[in-house]
Amino acid sequence: MTETTPKFSSSMFDEKPLAGQHAVITGGSRGIGAAISNYLARLGADISLTGRTQETLEAQAGRLASKYGVKVCTATGDMAVEADVVSAFDGAVQTLGPVSILINNAGIGESAPFHRMETDFWNKIIGLNLTGTFLATKQVYGAMREQKYGRIINIASIVGLTGYAYIAAYSASKHGVIGMTRSLALEAAKTGITVNAVCPGYTDTDLVAAAVDNIADKTGRTTEEAVADLVSTSPQGRLITPEEVAETTAWLSLPSSGAITGQSIVVAGGAVLN
């Protein structure tokens, strides 16, 4: 039997298994995206970050460069707008070279009862969470095929595997991301590219903090009661940390994870048994 060795043979036990690789993280300046950038930089990857706010991007870029000694590139823009996506990725490639790891993390999570949901609201959620994932992936996929190597990791959600009330648009967008993940993984199966989704439960981020404030404001409950309501869906009874999501994402980014593709990895304290 002939054994196939990955192009990069490093494993997670090597000191810098991602040295020489270029990772792009959309929505990378805060929350889960920032945590992922910390992990990938620690593993040796050079990092490009996209986001809407230059100040937070530059702050995170500075932390990565000073702490891990990697090269860092930033680009502001809306990942739902194709021109912004093209500009961001062109700049990243010109600065740091071909992309070998793409983390599609940029997203928005807002709730609305279906009978009050406007088309503009629906399009905003789908546009960033799903179309934005497509647009970013489109920018790197051709070059990855030429390189015969790549890691594409889409940050989805447990609501991409199930459904909760009042988040029909968000749930639909994440179901779409998982569907795209599975289909592209099959197309790319013999190209050296893997495509996976990470599906966090409610995570301790600014996004969830805003959701908690919204629940408390609309229901008259305290912040603590609102958090308890969110974590009640988890058998562990807690919020997930960004670092837990980041470590799973980093594992999927490794050269040694080449046999893992088309998967939806749940990081949710048992809230969804996949």
User: Phi and psi for 194 in degrees, rounded to 5?
Assistant: -110, 150
Q: What is the Cβ-side half-sphere exposure of residue 217, based on CA atoms within 13 angstroms?
A: 6
Closest to 127 in 3D by CA, of 76, 84, 63, 188:
84
DSSP 164: -
User: Phi and psi for 149 in degrees, rounded to 5?
Assistant: -165, 140
170 tagged catalytic = yes
Q: How far apart are CA 126 and CA 103, in angstroms?
A: 18
Of 39, 68, 141, 170, which residue is the catalytic one?
A: 170
E strands, the chain, in order? 22-25, 46-51, 72-76, 101-104, 150-155, 193-200, 264-267
| Residues known to be catalytic | 170
